[in-house]
Structure 1
Amino acid sequence: MPIKPFKSIGIGVAYSPNLKANLFEAARLSVFFEAKLVLIHVGEASEEKSKLLSTILKSFEKDQLKYEVVFKPGNPVDVILSISEEKKIDLLILGAVKREKIVKYYVGSIARKITRQANCSVLLLIKPSVERIPCQHIVVNGLKDPKTEQTITAAFYVANQLNAEKITIVEEIGQDEIAVKVDDDKSLRRATIAKERIKLRENSRVKEIISHIPKEYTQNKIIKLQPIFGKRGYSIGHYAQISRADLLVMNAPSKMTFWDRLFPHDIEHILTELPTDVLILQ
């Protein structure tokens, strides 16, 4: 059995209408992952604030939830990042923002800065709920990358802890991989054969990764391999949306350089319009 990836979960606590739903989501995940919960409030401590938090979390006493509250005034991005480092947080939970009048979610400026700079995994929630909404279908990226095996393994761990039934591994393939210009029936046939070869190659690579994952995580799961030709980031986000996935799991991009800011990374497509809850794994 591999080491649990999330031993400590952090969440920024704002005294907003979503407070109870956010805390319930974070507390449930802490129980599922057997992790300690760290509540980070950007602001001064007060007895009233502490009392409200303990009242909301009282119903998790029976689950032996371990939590602590950290109050620290300052810049929200700096405070949340510094406390995350200090408390060795493995998973940071952030809320998404709903666009006015239309049901589309995106990452607000504070959450986006934290997501880009965090040294830990980040979970972006689009619709936190007091009542648990079961997680049934997880979509995870299967692109060819050194981090991907770890990401797929973590997705199976999450599926196991949350009792999700189905995992789809999406292999995003750039159109430039099919080096055939289609202008007649013959070239179309060549392009189709090239696509099939690439799909077989990608499926074989992902099956090899799955064979290394502990059986207890893969058994009794519906596992689907889905090669998609298209733009990285956009394709998987679109697939997660149309397949009504409950969670999308992605590799964290390598630390951003000046050029990445000019030519946004594939993760930026996801942050601009969140298709569902998104887990970005470091």
Structure 2
Amino acid sequence: MSVKPFKSIGVGVAFSPNLKANIFEAARLSVVFGSKLFLIHVGENSNEKTNQLKTILKHFEKDNLDYKLVFKTGNPVDVILSTSEEKKIDLLILGALQREGFLKYYVGSIARKITRKAKCSVLLLIKPSVKRVPCEHVVVNGLKAPKTEQTIKTAFYVANKLSSEKITIVEEIKEEQISVKVDDNKSLRHANIIKERIKLRENSRIKEILNLIPEVYKKNKTITIQPIFGKKGYSIGHYAQISRADLLVMNAPSKTTFWDRLFPHDIEHILTELPTDVLLLQ
């Protein structure tokens, strides 16, 4: 695993009521990860805007925050994506929107387009805060996929840097893997035996990955392996919500093709209703 997966962090800066909170969240993460921070504003530069941003960033002078302001006009999606590539950004931070009158959050159309097209990892924040809110519980996907091993390793790195106490690795198992029609006690017992075999196999696979993670990242952590039978994307989002996770870490979807638009990614469940802050790792 790269010692430093996030060498540079980008954050979209809009002069909205959340401006200070968004910058504080991005700056704190940049300090913790030892990253350079790029603040990207889609619009013209002005002394007033620059001074406003620098005043907020003064709070991080003592931390020797390394940052750069980027002003660029154009389509918001194109500007943020092109700047991310130009500046070789590893992690892009985007804000979620709150549904009117509900304690529910979703990804707006601009952020959703950026999330789908970004070639770097994306962090979606539901409630950015000026005051640091502890990240105590991290949930990470453990599904059988090429990216998963690296995703779990990075989740442990992030949990270590954020001083999280608990990590849960969720294995989403499709119900059709059982492939037994349950209509009496005998078939129910058979289905349960198959379920247990699948759980043991999946747990064994995850334990092999855990053995590859440096001990320093596992120290003083409560580590749980949680198999769940259900619909991919929806199950892990629901679990993160009911377990009150502070961060959900997942494999970013592979780049979209025509077929992906017809059959949306499992990740769409998460983007439609964010259960918590979500980190999508490339």
Q: Which TM bucket (shorter chain)?
A: over 0.9
Which amino acid in structure 1 is aligned with residue 42 of structure 2?
V
| 3-state SS of 1:259 partner | helix
CA RMSD of aligned residues (A): 0.7
Which amino acid in structure 1 is aligned with residue 70 of structure 2?
V
TM superposition score normalised by structure 2: 0.99
Which residue of 2 is the match for residue 49 of structure 1? 49
Which residue of 1 is the match for residue 268 of structure 2? 268
- Compute the displacement of 1:262 (Å): 1.2
Structure 1 residue runs of 5 or longer lacking an equivalent are none
Q: What is the CA deviation profile of residues 149-198 of structure 1, one whole-angstrom value per residue up to 9, with x for unaligned ones? A: 00000000000000000000000000010021111100000000000010
Q: What is the CA deviation profile of residues 25-63 of structure 1, one whole-angstrom value per residue up to 9, with x for unaligned ones? A: 000000010000000000011111010001001010000
Which amino acid in structure 1 is aligned with residue 203 of structure 2?
N
Which residue of 1 is the match for residue 175 of structure 2? 175
Which residue of 1 is the match for residue 76 of structure 2? 76
| 3-state SS of 1:212 partner | coil
Which residue of 2 is the match for residue 16 of structure 1? 16
What percent of counterpart residues are identical?
A: 78
Distance 1:252 1:99 in 2: 24
Distance 1:147 1:57 in 2: 35
Distance 1:2 1:105 in 2: 32
Show the 5 A alignment for 1:14-163: 14-163=14-163
Q: What is the CA deviation profile of residues 218-267 of structure 1, one whole-angstrom value per residue up to 9, with x for unaligned ones? A: 12110000000000000000000000000000001111111111111100
Q: Which aligned runs of 4 or more in structure 1 are off by greater than 2 angstroms? A: none
Distance 1:257 1:80 in 2: 21
Which amino acid in structure 2 is aligned with residue 31 of structure 1?
V
Distance 1:163 1:258 in 2: 41
Which amino acid in structure 2 is aligned with residue 175 of structure 1?
E
Which amino acid in structure 2 is aligned with residue 150 of structure 1?
Q
Q: What is the CA deviation profile of residues 9-40 of structure 1, one whole-angstrom value per residue up to 9, with x for unaligned ones? A: 00000000000000000000000100000000
Which amino acid in structure 2 is aligned with residue 88 of structure 1?
K
- Compute the displacement of 1:139 (Å): 0.2
TM superposition score normalised by structure 1: 0.99
| 3-state SS of 1:24 partner | helix
Distance 1:155 1:280 in 2: 10
Distance 2:153 2:36 in 1: 22
Aligned residues: 282
- Compute the displacement of 1:3 (Å): 2.3
